[in-house]
Amino acid sequence: MTYGSALRRDVHGADITPLIGVFDMFSASLAAQHYGGMFVSGFGFAASYYGLPDIGFIAWPDMVNFVQRLRLAFPQHHLLVDIDDGYVDPEVACHVVENLERIGASGVILEDQKRPRRCGHVDGKQILPLEEYLEKLNLVLATRKDMVVVARTDATEEPEILRRAEALAATDADVLLVDGVRSVDWIRKVRGVVGDKPLLFNQIAGGKSPRLSLSELEDLGVDVAIYSTPCLFAAHTAIDNALLELRANDGRLPEVAEGDVGVAASIELLERNISRHHVPVAG
């Protein structure tokens, strides 16, 4: 079974599929212990790789190289990759999709924003004319062999959200995402116009969308839930607190008690990334 087929099977399964946003190999190593799928978030990658906000700085070879390292370390996990607007040009989008599929990405998300792009949960987003986005999307769909393709709209005006959702549902995209959806009522409205098309919901702490449990999302007809930044924001808090404590204690490291993370626990975690290379992909 290909990686695309494995993700597609789970998307169409009885239970909602959660995918956890990772921003580097270490966060992925931790996420892999708890969940069977990862989301390669543009927000997290821009922050970790460049130290910049998610407004269009990502170069596609950097993203491809990161996904290749992830796939080598985690041969059994779903890997859904945020490719933003396909890096502007339709031809580039198709080239990136070809590269990602060859190295084992399970799927991609392609948005309808135009440059300068923004995180889906901030103000100031601009979108391409629908026909222009559909042309790009259909070229990507014709390029992929079995990879899952998520069609994403960043429309914010209510009539346009429904118009685009209905148009995207009519394509061969596997899944639909309306990013930054602001209420449970609007999840229901989108679900109502997309027919049987699987629906993805993106949650980000402090974002525009409501905080919902997996069971609540299932009840609303959502099939996939991605969490863009739980690892990134947890790392932000933990690192800041650890360094504040180090300064407060005149540079003395805290004692490593039982259950705390020290050298041994960290090495044990990372050694699993070597052993996973020899585990066959589940079919």
Predicted confidence at residue 279, as pLDDT, reads 52
Is pLDDT at 150 greater than 80 in this prediction? yes
Q: In the structure, what pLDDT confidence band is assigned to residue 276 with cuts at 50, 70 and 90?
A: low
Q: In the structure, what pLDDT confidence band is assigned to residue 1 with cuts at 50, 70 and 90?
A: confident
Predicted confidence at residue 18, as pLDDT, reads 98
Q: In the structure, what pLDDT confidence band is assigned to residue 281 with cuts at 50, 70 and 90?
A: very low
- CATH says 3-233 is which class? alpha beta
Q: What is the secondary structure of 213-241 as a DSSP string? A: -HHHHHHTT--EEEESSHHHHHHHHHHHH
More confident residue, 124 or 143: 143
Instruction: Report the share of the chain in percent with pLDDT over 70.
Output: 96
What does the pLDDT look like over 13-45, one tens digit per residue? 999 999 999 999 999 999 999 999 999 999 999
Q: Buried b / exposed e across 166-198, counting CB within 10 Å, b at 16+?
A: bbbbeeebbbbbbbbbbeeebbebbbebbeebb
What does the pLDDT look like over 43-57, one tens digit per residue? 999 999 999 999 889
Q: In the structure, what pLDDT confidence band is assigned to residue 234 with cuts at 50, 70 and 90?
A: very high
Q: In the structure, what pLDDT confidence band is assigned to residue 277 with cuts at 50, 70 and 90?
A: low
End-to-end C-alpha distance for the chain, whole angstroms = 5
What does the pLDDT look like over 89-116, one tens digit per residue? 999 999 999 999 999 999 999 999 988 7
Q: How far apart are CA 234 and CA 25, in angstroms?
A: 15
CA atoms within 13 A on the CB side of 65: 7
* Ramachandran category for residue 227: left, alpha or beta (phi over 0 → left; psi -120 to 50 → alpha): beta
Q: How far apart are CA 274 and CA 283, in angstroms?
A: 21
Question: Are 251 and 105 in contact, with CB atoms under 8 Å apart?
Answer: no
Predicted confidence at residue 280, as pLDDT, reads 46
Is pLDDT at 185 greater than 70 in this prediction? yes
More confident residue, 265 or 46: 46
Is pLDDT at 251 greater than 50 in this prediction? yes
